[in-house]
Chain A
Amino acid sequence: MPRLTLSRQSLPNQSLPHQSLPNQSLSRQALSRRSLLGAGVTLFGGAFLPSVAAAAGGQDPRFLTIILRGALDGLSAVPPIGDPDYVAMRGALALSTEGPQAVLPAGGFFAINPRLARLHALLTAGDALVVQAVATPYRERSHFDGQNLLESGLTQTGGNEGWLNRVLTATAGRPIAQGQLTQGQMTQGEAPRGLSVAPTAPLIIRGPAPVLTWAPQFTVSADADTVQRLLGLYDARDPALATALRHGARMDAEANAQPARNAGGIGAPARFAELAAFAADRMARPDGPRIAALSVDGWDTHAAQGPTTGRLGQLFGFLDEGIGALQAGLGPVWRQTSVLLVTEFGRTVRINGTAGTDHGTGTIAILLGGAVQGGRVIADWPGLAEASLFAGRDLAPTTDLRAVIKGVLADQFGLSRQMLAQTIFPGSAAVSPMAGLIKTG
Chain B
Amino acid sequence: MDHAPTPFMAAHRFGFGLAGTKAPGTTGRDALHDQLAHPEWALITEPLPDGVASIRDFVRINNAFNAFRNEVARRETEGIVTPAGTPAPVSPGSPYVLLVLPELRARTARAMSGEADFLERLVVFWSNHFAVSMTKGGTLMPQIGPYERSVIRPGITGKFVDLLLAATRHPAMLLFLDNNVSVGPNSPVGLRRRRGLNENLAREILELHTLGVDGGYTQADVTAFAAALTGWTVTGYNPPPDAATPPPDPGQFIFRAQEHEPGPQTVLGRVYAEPGEDQARAILRDLARHPATARFIAGKMARHFIADVPPPGLVARMAATYLATDGDLGALARSMIDAPEAWAPPLAKLRSPYEFLIAAQRTVGVPVFRPRAYGMLANLGQQILAPASPAGFPDTSDDWMGADAIKTRADFALEFATGFNGDPAALARGVLGPALTDETLTAIRRAETGRQGLVLLLMSPEFQRR
Interface residues of A (CB under 8 A from B): 69-70, 140-145, 157, 160, 196, 198-201, 206, 211-215, 217-223, 225-227, 229-230, 232-234, 236-238, 240-241, 243-249, 251-252, 264-267, 297, 300, 302-303, 352-354, 356, 358-359, 391
Q: Do A220 and B414 have beta carbons less than 8 Å apart?
A: yes
Chain A residues within 8 Å of B386, by CB: 265
Q: Do A142 and B213 have beta carbons less than 8 Å apart?
A: yes
A198 to B388, CA, bound (A): 14
A266, chain B: closest CB distance, angstroms: 7
29 contacts between A and B (CB under 8 A): A141-B203, A142-B213, A144-B207, A144-B213, A144-B391, A196-B402, A213-B403, A213-B404, A219-B412, A219-B415, A222-B413, A229-B443, A229-B456, A233-B440, A238-B465, A241-B464, A245-B406, A248-B403, A252-B407, A264-B135, A265-B381, A297-B388, A302-B200, A303-B178, A352-B198, A354-B183, A354-B195, A356-B178, A359-B203
Q: Do A251 and B403 have beta carbons less than 8 Å apart?
A: yes
- Which residues in window 189-237 of B have CB below 8 A to A? 190, 195-200, 203, 207, 213, 219, 222
A369 to B342, CA, bound (A): 52
| Known contacts A217-B408, A233-B460, A226 near B414 by CB under 8 Å | yes
Contact of B402 (CB < 8 Å), options: A244, A303, A353, A354? A244
Give me 16 other A-B pairs in contact (C-beta within 8 A), A201-B402, A237-B440, A354-B183 excluded.
Answer: A144-B391, A199-B404, A200-B404, A217-B379, A219-B379, A222-B411, A230-B456, A233-B439, A245-B407, A248-B402, A251-B404, A252-B404, A265-B381, A303-B198, A353-B196, A354-B182
B21, chain A: closest CB distance, angstroms: 24
Q: Do B456 and A233 have beta carbons less than 8 Å apart?
A: yes
Residue on A nearest B391 in the bound complex, by CB: A144
| Known contacts A144-B391, A229-B456, A302-B178, A356 near B198 by CB under 8 Å | yes
Residue-wise interface mask of B (397-429) relative to A, using a CB-CB cutoff of 8 A (1 in contact, 0 not):
111111111111011111100000000000000
Contact of B408 (CB < 8 Å), options: A141, A219, A354? A219
Binds A, one of B38-46, B70-78, B447-455: B447-455
Determine whether B461 belongs to the interface, using a CB cutoff of 8 Å to chain A: yes
Q: Do B461 and A238 have beta carbons less than 8 Å apart?
A: yes
A143 to B440, CA, bound (A): 42
Determine whether B157 belongs to the interface, using a CB cutoff of 8 Å to chain A: no
| Known contacts A244-B402, A249-B407, A234 near B461 by CB under 8 Å | yes
Q: Do A354 and B181 have beta carbons less than 8 Å apart?
A: yes
Determine whether B320 belongs to the interface, using a CB cutoff of 8 Å to chain A: no
Determine whether B273 belongs to the interface, using a CB cutoff of 8 Å to chain A: no
Q: Do A200 and B213 have beta carbons less than 8 Å apart?
A: no
A220 to B455, CA, bound (A): 13
Q: Do B401 and A199 have beta carbons less than 8 Å apart?
A: no
Q: Do B198 and A358 have beta carbons less than 8 Å apart?
A: yes
Q: Do B403 and A247 have beta carbons less than 8 Å apart?
A: yes
Determine whether B389 belongs to the interface, using a CB cutoff of 8 Å to chain A: yes
Residue on A nearest B394 in the bound complex, by CB: A200
Q: Do A248 and B406 have beta carbons less than 8 Å apart?
A: yes
Chain A residues within 8 Å of B375, by CB: 218
A217 to B144, CA, bound (A): 27
Chain B residues within 8 Å of A240, by CB: 397, 401
Name the 8 nearest CB pairs between A and B, nearest first: A353-B196, A200-B402, A248-B407, A248-B403, A247-B403, A238-B461, A354-B181, A244-B406
A359 to B200, CA, bound (A): 9
A241 to B460, CA, bound (A): 9
A160 to B213, CA, bound (A): 17
Q: Do A265 and B388 have beta carbons less than 8 Å apart?
A: yes
A145 to B199, CA, bound (A): 17
Chain A residues within 8 Å of B459, by CB: 230
Q: Do B408 and A248 have beta carbons less than 8 Å apart?
A: yes
Residue on A nearest B195 in the bound complex, by CB: A353
Q: Do A226 and B198 have beta carbons less than 8 Å apart?
A: no
A64 to B375, CA, bound (A): 29
Determine whether B383 belongs to the interface, using a CB cutoff of 8 Å to chain A: yes
Determine whether B437 belongs to the interface, using a CB cutoff of 8 Å to chain A: yes
A352 to B389, CA, bound (A): 21
Q: Per DSSP, are chain A's interface residues mostly helix, strand or loop, or mixed?
A: loop
Q: Do B182 and A212 have beta carbons less than 8 Å apart?
A: no
A237 to B463, CA, bound (A): 12
Q: Do A353 and B190 have beta carbons less than 8 Å apart?
A: yes
Contact of B401 (CB < 8 Å), options: A218, A244, A303? A244
| Known contacts A141-B219, A354-B178, A222 near B381 by CB under 8 Å | no
Chain A residues within 8 Å of B213, by CB: 140, 142, 144-145, 157
| Known contacts A142-B207, A353-B183, A222 near B407 by CB under 8 Å | yes
Q: Do B197 and A221 have beta carbons less than 8 Å apart?
A: no
Chain B residues within 8 Å of A201, by CB: 402-403
Contact of A226 (CB < 8 Å), options: B401, B402, B456, B465? B456
Chain A residues within 8 Å of B282, by CB: none
Determine whether B142 belongs to the interface, using a CB cutoff of 8 Å to chain A: no
Chain A residues within 8 Å of B452, by CB: 225-226, 229
Determine whether B324 belongs to the interface, using a CB cutoff of 8 Å to chain A: no
A145 to B212, CA, bound (A): 11
Chain B residues within 8 Å of A267, by CB: 388
A219 to B410, CA, bound (A): 11
Determine whether B380 belongs to the interface, using a CB cutoff of 8 Å to chain A: yes
- Which residues in window 155-208 of B have CB below 8 A to A? 178, 181-183, 185, 190, 195-200, 203, 207
B437, chain A: closest CB distance, angstroms: 6
Chain B residues within 8 Å of A223, by CB: 414
Residue on A nearest B390 in the bound complex, by CB: A143
Q: Do A219 and B460 have beta carbons less than 8 Å apart?
A: no
Chain A residues within 8 Å of B439, by CB: 233, 236-237
A391 to B196, CA, bound (A): 19
A266 to B408, CA, bound (A): 14
Chain B residues within 8 Å of A213, by CB: 402-405
Contact of B410 (CB < 8 Å), options: A144, A227, A243, A247? A227
A200 to B398, CA, bound (A): 8
Contact of B182 (CB < 8 Å), options: A217, A246, A353? A353
| Known contacts A303-B198, A353-B183, A359-B203, A265 near B383 by CB under 8 Å | yes
Chain B residues within 8 Å of A160, by CB: 398
Chain A residues within 8 Å of B181, by CB: 303, 353-354
Chain B residues within 8 Å of A247, by CB: 403
A358 to B195, CA, bound (A): 14
Determine whether B378 belongs to the interface, using a CB cutoff of 8 Å to chain A: yes
Q: Do A199 and B408 have beta carbons less than 8 Å apart?
A: yes
Q: Do B198 and A353 have beta carbons less than 8 Å apart?
A: yes
Residue on B nearest A140 in the bound complex, by CB: B213
Chain A residues within 8 Å of B403, by CB: 201, 211-214, 243-248, 251
Chain B residues within 8 Å of A238, by CB: 461, 464-465
A347 to B228, CA, bound (A): 22
A142 to B203, CA, bound (A): 8
B316, chain A: closest CB distance, angstroms: 19
Q: Do A199 and B380 have beta carbons less than 8 Å apart?
A: yes
Q: Do A229 and B447 have beta carbons less than 8 Å apart?
A: yes
A126 to B181, CA, bound (A): 43
A291 to B374, CA, bound (A): 33
A354 to B201, CA, bound (A): 13
A421 to B388, CA, bound (A): 34
A358, chain B: closest CB distance, angstroms: 5
A69 to B378, CA, bound (A): 19
A400, chain B: closest CB distance, angstroms: 21
A248 to B402, CA, bound (A): 8
A141 to B397, CA, bound (A): 26
Chain A residues within 8 Å of B404, by CB: 198-200, 213-215, 217, 248, 251-252
A155 to B191, CA, bound (A): 42
A78 to B455, CA, bound (A): 52
A194, chain B: closest CB distance, angstroms: 11
| Known contacts A199-B380, A200-B404, A225-B448, A232 near B410 by CB under 8 Å | no
Chain B residues within 8 Å of A157, by CB: 213
Q: Do A221 and B411 have beta carbons less than 8 Å apart?
A: yes
| Known contacts A220-B415, A265-B381, A266-B381, A206 near B398 by CB under 8 Å | yes
